[in-house]
């Protein structure tokens, strides 16, 4: 039915025609109730007269309306009037991808950017059981403000609720089922199974995406022949021409992504749009190779330890500021090549202890110790410092600074310079450059950043993120805040509380922003390595980023910590051991450095050998979560069940019950000790928590398996695969799953993981 200007359907008044196609006509209309312009699509008459088609159209509209995703066209309403069925959607301004491609191929980086948005929209649809079945450039809309929208789900198929075990939210029936042999779609973009008229699932959309992505990169269609029949035969039997961008070959990773999408067999493609989005995120990253090994810092006669400044403020919670002040001065002194500075972790090991400074100096192997205090009162700041000679206990220098808060960076620089002058060490260059270069002009943003780092050091990730985001709101160009955000989101996604795809997206965006603002800033490569460790699943890239982090900051233990984990999880245990030992040399008082040393054994299930080192780690910091749960993990699988329960209980307590993974391990220990009721109570806790926030299915699987619920555990592992739980390709080999190793479903998950994250040496003993 063709409508004219002024016609009304319900509260919608037709303003002008926008276009027409096989699935109906589209008009610009005015919503007279809400006083806004909308797009109104009218179902063709032959379909509107078909009760089954009309019913299917309504069910599909309801299913898609339930998606509410920024990369999918929003449906506002559905109705019928006078035999005319219509759907009302948001009105978009811009152009289709087809119109954009009329001028030729897109730059590869732009194609990747658009591809990520498209696959995120597809992932949202697939998780609700909706398959598009007609993805093509005409059905991708690029808005004027830079957004990407998937259009026209007119051929969409709503799968049964068994798909991926996901909630269907109104998509419970196979609303788009067709007669056997019926061919639906657009020639050139259909999957081989569509061409054959077979039933399709979400992997059909992945093939179609591959064809669209190919066209975005090359400006030509992957399967274009003289007739639709010849085109469909090419889809079944031929490969597209070699991918090239102008006169040069595209990056190998991009070619691999397209090739993987366009596999003829669904089982050989990416198995989810979520996996595809992850792959695209890394598709254009440049390789960084040939990173030289790090060397120890230059030795000299001058050496110092900076002890944690005492918080003398009326607000006892202002400890974050005194800690931050200490770290800033420590970092400034570390820039002086002729001065050896004890690591942050070694110095902070004496926090709160009434130990004679001379004994501390001897323990840390330094000749001088700086100690001080900080008092805040409104915007006033008092910093008192003194430098002690360890040899005789005499004061070498002392000073008191009474300043305004906005002078905090100047105070830090003055202290560092005074120490350098007192110890008679040579500064870099002429020494005119500040040792403490203000990273922000906004003192409140700096204060929020220090709070964030304080919470991050305690792995209270949600609290850290809250502070970092507040700091960004005040100063969007504060680079260091973004690395804090990246690290916090990455770790939060591992321990539970945020979906892995969201953790990855937010962490990656923050790291990229930090790199954009300060390409050479310390911490950027470390953040990229951490993100790769949990979510990218490319261990070669992870290793490169972490070696770059070590090369840039060889005095920091963190690079050695994460590189050890990278090496241990990929079966390179001797290298992991050597790397961890170097980290212990850099920071001998770090509990985490000791604990990760044990992972050179834990990664190969040498649990007994790991125990002495883990006991040392816990002794260094009984409140640290990572050493505690690592010790509990080793005790669990050496049969020391009472000890495991105590260690894991401490880990849960240390993280304020925020870390789901540790709760699951704790429950596994309880179950192994015969305390089934207690373990079941923890399982109920996780399920209840899952109704309010994200609980990784993998962690639930650990507890289910410990309780002997194999079928449910396998289902949870399958969901963990679908949702790409952090580090899943390695964690699925935990001993708790040993009893599943001959199960076909378990083998299927492992095989799919091996295709997604192919690495060497991940098969653990057993």
Q: Please give the helix or strand (H or E) that residue 232 lies within, else none.
A: helix 228-237
Give residue 510's pLDDT.
93
Residues 155 and 259 grouped into a single domain: yes
Give residue 537's pLDDT.
87
738 catalytic? Reply is no
Residue carrying the six token digits 């890394």 = 282
Q: Please give the helix or strand (H or E) that residue 249 lies within, else none.
A: strand 248-249
| pLDDT, tens digit, 9 for 90 and up, residues 393-407 | 777 877 788 888 777
Residues 390 and 533 grouped into a single domain: no
In the set 77, 134, 152, 275, the catalytic residue is 134
| pLDDT, tens digit, 9 for 90 and up, residues 694-751 | 999 999 999 999 999 999 999 999 999 999 999 999 899 889 999 999 999 999 999 8
> 666 in a domain, yes or no?
no
Domain span including residue 13: 8-90
Q: Can you count the helices (H) and strands (E) in the chain?
A: 31, 19
Q: Which residues pair with 157 in a beta bridge?
A: 131
Give residue 282's pLDDT.
53
Give residue 707's pLDDT.
95
Of the residues 39, 65, 90, the one at which a domain ends? 90
CATH number of the domain within which 206 lies: 1.10.510.10
Indicate the DSSP class of residue 265: S
Strand order in the sheet with 148-150: 94-96, 140-143, 148-150
Of the residues 90, 114, 139, the one at which a domain ends? 90
> 619 in a domain, yes or no?
no
Other C-beta atoms within 10 Å of 372: how many? 23
> 438 in a domain, yes or no?
no
Q: What is the pTM of this model?
A: 0.58
**What is the C-alpha separation between 397 and 414, in angstroms, rounded?**
13
Give residue 203's pLDDT.
93
Residues 186 and 86 grouped into a single domain: no
CATH number of the domain within which 500 lies: 1.25.40.10
Residues 143 and 257 grouped into a single domain: yes
> Is 387 in a helix, a strand, or coil?
strand
Contacts of 512 (CB under 8 A, 6+ apart): none
Residues 117 and 247 grouped into a single domain: yes
Residues 23 and 130 grouped into a single domain: no
CATH number of the domain within which 331 lies: 3.40.50.10070
Give residue 436's pLDDT.
56
**What is the C-alpha separation between 696 and 501, in angstroms, rounded?**
12
Do β-strands 75-81 and 36-42 pair in parallel, antiparallel, or remain unpaired? unpaired
Of the residues 516, 536, 554, the one at which a domain ends? 554
How many domains is the chain partitioned into structurally? 4
Residues 247 and 351 grouped into a single domain: no
Residues 86 and 104 grouped into a single domain: no
- Strands (DSSP E) along 255-323, which ranges? 302-306, 310-311
Residues 321 and 414 grouped into a single domain: yes
Spacing of C-alpha 178 from chain mean position: 39
> 578 in a domain, yes or no?
no
CA dihedral (498, 500, 501, 503) in degrees, to 10, reads: 60
Side-chain-side CA neighbours of 516 within 13 Å: the count stands at 10
Residues 84 and 101 grouped into a single domain: no
Give residue 685's pLDDT.
95
Structure tokens that stand for 91 in this block = 């009105």
**What is the C-alpha separation between 544 and 292, in angstroms, rounded?**
10
Indicate the DSSP class of residue 757: S
**What is the C-alpha separation between 552 and 289, in angstroms, rounded?**
14
Residues 467 and 417 grouped into a single domain: no
Other C-beta atoms within 10 Å of 553: how many? 18
Asked whether the beta carbons of 125 and 680 are under 8 A apart, the reply is: no
Indicate the DSSP class of residue 318: G
Residues 335 and 399 grouped into a single domain: yes
> 601 in a domain, yes or no?
no
Give every residue of the chain whose pLDDT is below 50, as ranges. 161-182, 246-247, 284-300, 427-431, 758-766
């Amino acid at each position: 039915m063709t409508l004219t200007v002024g016609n009304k359907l319900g509260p919608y008044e037709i303003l002008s025609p926008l276009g027409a196609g096989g699935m109906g006509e589209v008009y610009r209309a005015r919503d007279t109730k809400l006083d806004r312009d909308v797009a109104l699509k009218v179902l063709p008459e032959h379909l509107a007269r078909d009760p089954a088609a009309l019913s299917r159209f309504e069910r599909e509209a309801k299913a898609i309306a339930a998606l509410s995703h920024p990369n999918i066209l929003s449906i506002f309403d559905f109705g019928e009037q006078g035999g005319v069925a219509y759907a009302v959607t948001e009105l978009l301004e811009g152009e289709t991808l087809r119109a954009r491609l009329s001028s030729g191929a897109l730059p590869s980086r732009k194609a990747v950017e658009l591809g990520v948005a498209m696959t995120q929209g597809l992932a949202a649809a697939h998780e609700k059981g909706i398959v598009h079945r007609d993805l093509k450039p005409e059905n991708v809309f690029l808005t004027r403000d830079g957004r990407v929208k998937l259009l026209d789900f007119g051929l969409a198929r709503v799968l049964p609720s068994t798909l991926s075990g996901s909630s269907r939210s109104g998509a419970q029936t196979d609303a788009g089922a067709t007669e056997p042999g019926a061919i639906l779609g657009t020639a050139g973009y259909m999957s081989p199974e569509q061409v054959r008229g077979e039933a399709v699932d979400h992997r059909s959309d992945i093939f179609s995406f591959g064809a669209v992505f190919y066209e975005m990169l090359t400006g030509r269609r992957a399967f274009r022949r003289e007739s639709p029949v010849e085109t469909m035969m090419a889809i079944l039997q031929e490969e597209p021409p070699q991918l090239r961008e102008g006169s040069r070959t595209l990056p190998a990773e991009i070619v691999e992504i397209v090739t993987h999408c366009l596999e003829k067999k669904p089982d050989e493609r990416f198995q989810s749009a979520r996996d595809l989005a992850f792959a695209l995120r890394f598709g254009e990253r440049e390789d960084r190779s040939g990173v030289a090994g790090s060397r120890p810092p230059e030795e000299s006669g001058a050496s110092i330890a900076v002890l944690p400044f005492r918080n003398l403020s009326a607000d006892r919670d202002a400890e974050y500021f005194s800690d931050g002040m200490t770290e800033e001065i420590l970092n400034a002194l570390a820039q002086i090549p002729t001065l050896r500075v004890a690591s942050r972790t070694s110095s902070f090991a004496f926090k709160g202890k009434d130990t004679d400074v001379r004994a501390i100096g001897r323990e840390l192997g330094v000749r001088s110790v700086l100690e001080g205090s900080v008092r805040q009162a409104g915007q006033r700041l008092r910093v008192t410092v003194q430098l002690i000679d360890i040899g005789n206990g005499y004061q070498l220098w002392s000073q008191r600074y009474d300043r305004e808060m906005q002078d905090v960076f100047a105070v830090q620089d003055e202290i560092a310079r005074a120490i350098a002058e007192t110890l008679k060490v040579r500064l870099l260059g002429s020494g005119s450059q500040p040792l403490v270069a203000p990273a922000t002009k906004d003192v409140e943003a700096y204060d929020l950043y220090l709070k964030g780092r304080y919470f991050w050091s305690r792995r209270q990730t949600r609290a850290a993120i809250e502070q970092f985001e507040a700091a960004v709101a005040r100063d969007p160009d504060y680079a260091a805040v973004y690395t804090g955000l990246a690290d916090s989101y990455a770790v939060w996604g591992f321990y539970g509380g945020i979906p892995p795809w969201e953790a990855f997206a937010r962490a990656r965006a923050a790291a990229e922003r930090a790199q954009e603002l300060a390409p050479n800033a310390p911490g950027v490569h470390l953040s990229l390595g951490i993100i790769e460790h949990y979510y990218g699943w490319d261990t070669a890239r992870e290793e490169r980023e972490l070696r770059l982090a070590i090369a840039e900051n060889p005095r920091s233990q963190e690079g050695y910590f994460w590189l050890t984990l990278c090496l241990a999880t990929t079966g390179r245990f001797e290298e992991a051991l050597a790397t961890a030992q170097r980290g212990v040399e850099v920071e001998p008082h770090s509990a985490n450095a000791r604990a990760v040393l044990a992972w050179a054994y834990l990664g190969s299930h040498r649990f007994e050998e790991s125990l002495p080192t883990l006991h040392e780690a816990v002794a260094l910091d009984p409140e640290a979560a990572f050493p505690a749960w690592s010790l509990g993990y080793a005790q669990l699988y050496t049969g020391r069940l009472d000890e495991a329960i105590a260690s894991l209980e401490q880990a849960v307590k240390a993280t304020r019950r925020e870390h789901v993974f540790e709760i699951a391990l704790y429950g596994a220990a309880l179950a192994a000790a015969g305390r089934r009721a207690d373990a079941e109570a923890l399982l109920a806790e996780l399920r209840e928590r899952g109704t309010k926030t994200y609980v990784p299915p993998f962690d639930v699987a650990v507890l289910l398996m410990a309780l002997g619920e194999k079928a449910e555990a396998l289902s949870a592992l399958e969901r963990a695969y679908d949702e790409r739980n952090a580090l899943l390709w390695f964690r699925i080999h935990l001993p708790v799953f040993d009893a599943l190793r001959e199960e076909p479903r378990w083998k299927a998950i492992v095989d799919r993981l091996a295709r997604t994250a192919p690495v060497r040496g991940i098969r653990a003993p057993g």
